[in-house]
Amino acid sequence: MSRMLHKFRGTLVGALVGDCLGSHYEGVPYILPWREVTDYTLTKIKDKKEPIPYTDDTAMTRAICKSLTEQKKYDNRSMAQEFVEEFFREPHRGYGAAVGTVFKRLQDENPEDITLPARCQFDGQGSYGNGAAMRISPVALLNARKNALITHAHINGVIGAILQAEAVFKALLLEPPNLDTDKFIDQLIEVAEKLEKDKEASSEKKEDSGHSGIPSHPNKTVSYVKKIKEMKELLSKGDALEPKTVVETFGNGIRAEEAVPAAIFSFLHKGKVSFDESINYAISLGGDTDTIASMAGAISGAYWGVNEVPELWKSKCEGVEEAIEFANKIYELHEQRKETD
Ligand code: F2R
Ligand code: MG
Ligand code: MG
Ligand code: MG
């Protein structure tokens, strides 16, 4: 089997197990002791008779996979339809409190512009939640911005999704044990700088012309660039680094600008040791544990490949077989595209 297929499977299975295992702690307002996390993920789950359920992070990732593999191309209207279908089929997967309104409007109004309901959220600011970033791994090779805009209009939600996709994409191209963290960070900074420059330019334009239609209030104080730059300093501390410092630097909450840097950092700090360390570390940061672990899992799985995901986790989490089937189909699509390019 090709190495890239292993990595595609690793991406989707990695995102899935991070979600399932992390959901046990979602919302804890404190940093979890390492022993407590590993006691759960490596020992306690052995006794579970039922599969550990996945949450909205995976439900939305699966909807993207379904659209991509059925349409055999990126199609934003089909993506939106799959999100809506999936949400109304199983609304109790732990979705964000506001995103259901987007799905309801998409279903009821079927607007010409499918990004309209998302742009109307929060008085026209759009959601800054991490819900666009958490599902983005299957489109890492395609169009992350377009996908984010179906549900998340706030620029910080969109940039978070693009950076998460970028991190997955970069990890697919690396082979363990070769992970030059400084280079990885520098490349991400380059992407983040460009995105933040565009963000500045578009908010200046809006201020010049006044807003027409839906107002936008991008939060200028948030800088992904600043957070990514800080990763180098934190990594240089090695094992002496306190999780408290990591959480103080990036945050661990539901905002994309907290969860995405926390996930990327979990991969850079522990993912080079092993896939499981990156997941356990992401969970130990507390806060939005399912989502941070899912995003760290997508990046780390892309780096290591599916064979490095512990068998215990693959046997206990709900939906692993489907994740592998989706990875196979997306890989086929990827190969067909290479032939026609
Ligand atoms: N929803 C959760 N966890 C809550 C507990 C779930 C529990 N286990 C259960 O089953 O009940 N987790 C999931 O939500 C996150 C992804 O959220 P998403 O898709 O971004 O949703 P939404 O609603 O768009 O945004 C989340 C909240 O953020 C606040 N917010 C966003 N933008 C805002 C803005 N511009 N102004 C003010 N507030 C804003 C709102 O409170 C939103 O509801 C993941 O953690 C996933 O696992
Ligand atoms: Mg969730
Ligand atoms: Mg359908
Ligand atoms: Mg979450």
Does position 337 have pLDDT exceeding 90, yes or no?
no
pLDDT at 139: 87
Q: Answer whether 276 contacts ligand 1 (Cβ < 6 A).
A: no
DSSP string for residues in 199-233: HHHHHHHHHHH---SS-----TT--HHHHHHHHHH
pLDDT at 150: 81
Q: In angstroms, what is the span from residue 142 Cα to ligand 1's centroid? A: 25
pLDDT per residue as tens digits for the range 221-267: 689 999 999 999 999 999 999 999 999 999 999 999 999 999 999 99
Q: Answer whether 55 contacts ligand 1 (Cβ < 6 A).
A: yes
pLDDT band at 208 (very low <50, low <70, confident <90, very high): very low
The Cα 197–Cα 194 span in angstroms is 5
pLDDT band at 213 (very low <50, low <70, confident <90, very high): very low
Amino acid occupying residue 32: L
pLDDT at 216: 33
Does position 203 have pLDDT exceeding 90, yes or no?
no
pLDDT band at 202 (very low <50, low <70, confident <90, very high): confident
pLDDT at 207: 46
pLDDT per residue as tens digits for the range 159-179: 999 999 999 999 999 999 999
Q: In angstroms, what is the span from residue 290 Cα to ligand 4's centroid? A: 5
pLDDT at 148: 79
Token match 């190969």: residue? 335
pLDDT at 341: 63
* Residue 308 DSSP symbol: G
Pick the residue whose CA is nearest to atom 28 on ligand 1: 129
- ipTM, 2 dp: 0.95
Does position 215 have pLDDT exceeding 70, yes or no?
no
Phi/psi at 188 (nearest 5 deg)? Answer: -70, -35
DSSP string for residues in 162-183: HHHHHHHHHHHT--TT---HHH
The Cα 5–Cα 22 span in angstroms is 25
Pick the residue whose CA is nearest to atom 8 on ligand 1: 94
User: Mutation test of ligand 1: which of 121, 254, 288, 295 has the most ligand atoms closer than 8 Å to its C-beta?
Assistant: 254
Q: Report H helices in the chain.
A: 3-22, 34-38, 56-71, 76-89, 99-109, 116-120, 144-148, 155-172, 181-209, 224-235, 243-250, 256-266, 275-284, 289-304, 311-316, 320-340
Considering the entire predicted model, what is its pTM?
0.94
| Per-residue exposure over 101-118, b if at least 16 CB sit within 10 Å of its own CB, e if not | ebbebbbeeeeeebbbbb
The Cα 171–Cα 305 span in angstroms is 10
* Residue 329 DSSP symbol: H
CA dist list (Å): 310 to 6, 73, 158: 14, 32, 32
The token pair at 46 is: 């052995």
The residues facing 28 across adjacent strands are 287
Q: Which ligand is nearest to the CA of 24?
A: 1
For residue 10, which of 202, 171, 148 has the smallest C-alpha distance? 171
The Cα 176–Cα 195 span in angstroms is 29
Q: Answer whether 240 contacts ligand 1 (Cβ < 6 A).
A: no
Pick the residue whose CA is nearest to atom 37 on ligand 1: 122
Q: Answer whether 119 contacts ligand 1 (Cβ < 6 A).
A: no
Check: CB of residue 103 under 8 Å from CB of residue 84: yes
Check: CB of residue 276 under 8 Å from CB of residue 310: yes
Q: Answer whether 98 contacts ligand 1 (Cβ < 6 A).
A: yes
Pick the residue whose CA is nearest to atom 7 on ligand 1: 94
Q: In angstroms, what is the span from residue 291 Cα to ligand 4's centroid? A: 4
pLDDT band at 86 (very low <50, low <70, confident <90, very high): very high
Check: CB of residue 109 under 8 Å from CB of residue 125: no
Check: CB of residue 19 under 8 Å from CB of residue 55: yes
Q: Is 79 exposed, middle or buried (0-12, 13-18, 19+ CB in 10 A)?
A: buried
The Cα 91–Cα 100 span in angstroms is 8
pLDDT per residue as tens digits for the range 287-331: 999 999 999 999 999 999 999 999 999 999 999 999 999 999 999
pLDDT at 141: 52
Ligand 1, residue 151: give the atom nearest the CA: 24
pLDDT per residue as tens digits for the range 27-85: 999 999 999 999 999 999 999 999 999 999 999 999 999 999 999 999 999 999 999 99
Q: Answer whether 128 contacts ligand 1 (Cβ < 6 A).
A: yes
pLDDT band at 211 (very low <50, low <70, confident <90, very high): very low
Does position 151 have pLDDT exceeding 70, yes or no?
yes
Does position 120 have pLDDT exceeding 50, yes or no?
yes
pLDDT per residue as tens digits for the range 272-283: 899 999 999 999
Does position 115 have pLDDT exceeding 80, yes or no?
yes
Q: Is 15 exposed, middle or buried (0-12, 13-18, 19+ CB in 10 A)?
A: buried
Q: Answer whether 94 contacts ligand 1 (Cβ < 6 A).
A: yes
